[in-house]
Chains A and B, each alone.
Chain A
């Protein structure tokens, strides 16, 4: 029996998401590589998915929001009521 070598774009993107977490089997890594060799859309998805994973780890370094003075006053008042 001949192994099915072609995967769909939907499968390829599912494989990429697993690959980004180091959870893709060797066999599926091979199938993914074959697909990426012929599919431009999935090749972009592959780079962009990894890019999103890599940079999302830095989100917390770029949050500068603060609570307003009124919100803090309210929190203090709620605590003092305890």
Chain B
């Protein structure tokens, strides 16, 4: 086993790991801490690294586990992400859209993938505004491609909670994009 070289590790892998974590946790300090923790865990357990996968993949495996742990912490604050039973900004008593919240036409070709970085910057900012647990289910589904059953199992939440969280995440993201991106 080659002697561990902290400088090389950090120079080779830190940005890559950081860019993986950042859109998943939507907080630069949290992402930075997760990368640091990943290096520390890898450093301490380097003896158990068998070289069956590349060092890079090994670091990513550790980071992914740390991100899941971070999501699990958010899932202990589940109720934050569920709608307030007394007032709903999106729907009225009859469950119709409220006047302010009704979606507007965006005037774009919805089937055309967006390539502009500006859109993703705004999308990330909108994701940051979601409650942590809403952001977690959304990231697990759409950034990691996990199935809803898997997500419920990882976070120990019910299917019904999952759908409420995803519904609220979509309502929040849609409204935020309409306000901040559309027409730009």
B137 to chain A, nearest CB (A): 11
Residue A5 at the B interface, CB < 8 A?
A: no
A55-B119 CB under 8 A given contacts A8-B96, A14-B163, A67-B32: yes
Interface of B is mostly: helix
Q: Is the CB of A44 within 8 A of B105?
A: yes
Q: Establish whether residues B142 and A10, one from each chain, have CB atoms under 8 Å apart when the complex forms.
A: no
Q: How many A-B residue pairs have CB under 8 A?
A: 131
Q: Let me know if B170 and A52 touch, CB within 8 A.
A: yes
CA distance A11 to B28 in the complex (A): 36
**Dominant SS among interface residues on chain A:** helix
Please determine whether B19 and A58 come into contact, CB atoms closer than 8 angstroms: no
B152: Cβ under 8 A from any A Cβ: no
Which residues from A are CB-within-8-Å of B35? Answer: 67, 75
Q: Are A76 and B110 in contact (CB under 8 A)?
A: no
- A82: contacting residue among B22, B32, B40, CB under 8 A: B40
Chain A residues whose CB sits within 8 angstroms of the CB of B10 once the complex forms: 72, 75-76, 79
- With both beta carbons as reference points, the residue of chain B lying nearest to A74 in the complex is identified as B36
Question: Which of the listed residues B36, B43, B120, B143 has the most CB atoms from chain A within 10 Å of its own CB?
Answer: B120
Q: Is the CB of B114 within 8 A of A23?
A: no
Set of chain B residues within 8 Å of A57, measured between Cβ atoms? 142-143, 145
Within 8 A of B (CB), among A24-60: 41-42, 44-45, 47-60
Which of B9, B90, B108, B174 meets A79, CB within 8 Å?
B9
Enumerate chain A interface residues (CB-CB to B < 8 A).
8-11, 13-14, 17-18, 20-21, 23, 41-42, 44-45, 47-60, 62-67, 71-72, 75-76, 78-80, 82
- A48-B103, A60-B20 are known; give 5 further A-B pairs, CB within 8 A: A11-B95, A52-B177, A59-B120, A67-B14, A80-B6
